[in-house]
A and B are shown apart, each in its own frame.
Chain A
Amino acid sequence: MELKANNISFSYNKKKEILKDFSISLKSNQIIGLMGDSGSGKSTLCKIMAGYISNYSGEVTIDGSKIPNKDFYPVQLIFQHPEKTMNPKWKMEKILNESWTPTQDLKDTFGLKDSWLSRWPSELSGGELQRFSILRAINPKTKFVIADEISTMLDAVTQVQIWEALINHCKANNIGILAVSHDPELLDVICDDILYFNEINNL
């Protein structure tokens, strides 16, 4: 499978364009890194590719056909701040199972402890919450994962644990990853190829 964004242009207001004729493609067996300065529009691109923003020009396709808006969206976005993506009035078990019910094996792989399931999001740390947000994103119907700075706020030990588990799962299940980060050293280790945002953005 191949996820493609073709000639994407987008602006939040008339004064300033953020993306211009931006194109990128990602295959199922690939991990592509995307690097760029803060404020350059990386997260906006991620939101467009994951279907959060719709009023852009250009198109996002999987194997040449448009992604249907109904049903499960096969491109899943994982955010930098997991605490901002969870309902504070739901317990962790409900948050996790909203998407699907992962097997015990998979929970173990991601180091998810059963005692965390009965807690509220505010009672867990960023690293613990990020494990939940990754696990709920890798629903069996997910074909591509977009990881927008998912380990920026985590300590180095947790960073390795999370990336190892995610990469192993995606390789085994033929899921492609677009990894967005500031950190060239991290992208060097985990990615097959690194792209520079400003070089492909035709501003």
Chain B
Amino acid sequence: MGDFMEKLLEVNNLSISFTQYVQGLNRHESKVISDLTIDIGEGEIVAILGSSGSGKSLLAHSILGILPYNSNVTGEIKYEGQVLDQKLKEDLRGDEICLIPQSVNFLDPLMKVSEQAIGECKNEKEHDEKKLRQREIFSKYGLDESVDDMYPFELSGGMARKVLLSTALVGDPKLLIADEPTPGLDSQSVKETIEDIKNLRENGKGVLLITHEIDVALRTADRIAIFYSGYVIEINTVENFKNADNVLHPYSKALINSLPKNGFNLTEGVQPLEDLPGCPYYENCPIRLDKCEKTKPNLIEHEGVMIRCFNFEGANNGA
């Protein structure tokens, strides 16, 4: 990581919570993302890996400024060194920053899918150019010309997923946010998707890949951030993630060891539902310390790796 290289996207200490009404007028604040710090450089793919339902998508939605009204956001997001406020988000999204949404429900049910992929155009000429590009991308994914005139309800889950992917690729974004682009695709289409994302990297684009499939993250990304119970607990290189001995956090190790090809090893324990006063992994941690129960570790740098664990804080100070 070159310190002088301008970061495409910087997220600093981002927290997202929702205000909910419970039983009448009692309000309840539920925290979904806590103290998230991550950056993406040009020509870099960063994957955020976490279980489904853990709130990863909300990071994407906050970068694009499409969170629901009852959300509270603290922290800072910077794009090319500039603070990304709502006005700038609205200017850039769909243009310099593109999203591949997670759910196929994001497609407009009343619009032909080819037009959705082409998107907004200033004039006829731009439309014609984009039309060519859209056809090219569709055929690469095995969507023949009859699909162009279809509406979303006529597509299978996998086909709809490919259309969503095309919507982002027809434009020419600098930063692509891919929110779970692969589930429900057969292995050939997964391969195509990964290749396309990697091509963007070759062209100097930045990609934020949000996924729960560790295999996809390993095959695509440069760095992987592990998301656990709303916290990023480790950011490490893909190389290190190929071997459980080279990652630091006990949950990261458990994750790698639980893959079918690495022995399908069982680790007990579930993620806590509420934000705990101490470390989110305290209950299940094999190397926990006394202070982990009541105090929360910060995300710190340890030999080039970002880690949220007290076990490495002492080691860092000593070095």
Question: What residues of chain A have their CB less than 8 Å away from a CB belonging to chain B?
Answer: 37-39, 111, 113, 115-116, 123-128, 152-161, 163-164, 182-183, 185-186, 188-190
Contacts and interface: CB of A to CB of B under 8 A. Distances in A.
A126 B264 CA distance: 20
B212 A154 contact: yes
B184 A154 contact: no
Given A39-B157, A39-B158, 9 more contacts: A38-B186, A124-B273, A125-B52, A127-B51, A127-B53, A153-B183, A154-B212, A157-B255, A188-B260
Interface residues of B, number: 34
A189 B158 CA distance: 26
Contact of A38 (B184, B254, B261): B184
Contacts of A126: 51-53
B270 A113 contact: yes
30 contacts: A38-B184, A38-B185, A38-B186, A39-B156, A123-B273, A124-B53, A125-B51, A125-B52, A125-B53, A125-B271, A126-B51, A126-B53, A127-B53, A152-B184, A153-B52, A153-B183, A154-B51, A154-B212, A155-B50, A155-B52, A155-B212, A155-B214, A156-B214, A157-B255, A159-B258, A161-B268, A185-B260, A188-B260, A189-B264, A190-B264
A189 B260 contact: yes
Of B54, B266, B270, B273, the most chain A CB neighbours within 10 A belong to: B270
A169 B51 CA distance: 25
Contacts of A153: 52, 183, 212
Of B54, B156, B264, B267, the most chain A CB neighbours within 10 A belong to: B264
B259 interface: yes
B37 to A, nearest CB: 21
B258 A111 contact: no
Contact of A160 (B50, B261, B267, B271): B267
A155 B156 contact: no
B146 interface: no
A160 B259 CA distance: 8
B158 A38 contact: yes
B70 interface: no
B203 interface: no
B265 interface: yes
Interface in B27-55: 49-54
Contact of B54 (A39, A113, A125, A182): A125
Contact of A154 (B52, B158, B254, B256): B52
Interface of B: 49-54, 156-159, 183-187, 212, 214, 251, 254-256, 258-261, 264-271, 273
B254 A157 contact: yes
A160 B264 CA distance: 6
Contacts of B261: 185
Interface pairs A-B: 6 shortest CB-CB? A125-B53, A155-B51, A38-B158, A185-B260, A39-B156, A156-B258
Nearest to A152: B183
A78 B258 CA distance: 22
A189 B255 CA distance: 16
A128 B251 CA distance: 18
A157 B258 contact: yes
B183 A160 contact: no
A127 B52 contact: yes
Of A38, A154, A188, the most chain B CB neighbours within 10 A belong to: A38
Nearest to B187: A182
Given A156-B255, A182-B186, A185-B260, A115 B273 contact: yes
Nearest to B30: A123
A158 B258 CA distance: 9
Nearest to A40: B186
Contact of A161 (B156, B214, B266): B266
B266 to A, nearest CB: 5
Contact of A128 (B156, B256, B270): B270
A124 B270 CA distance: 12
A154 B255 CA distance: 12
Nearest to B263: A189
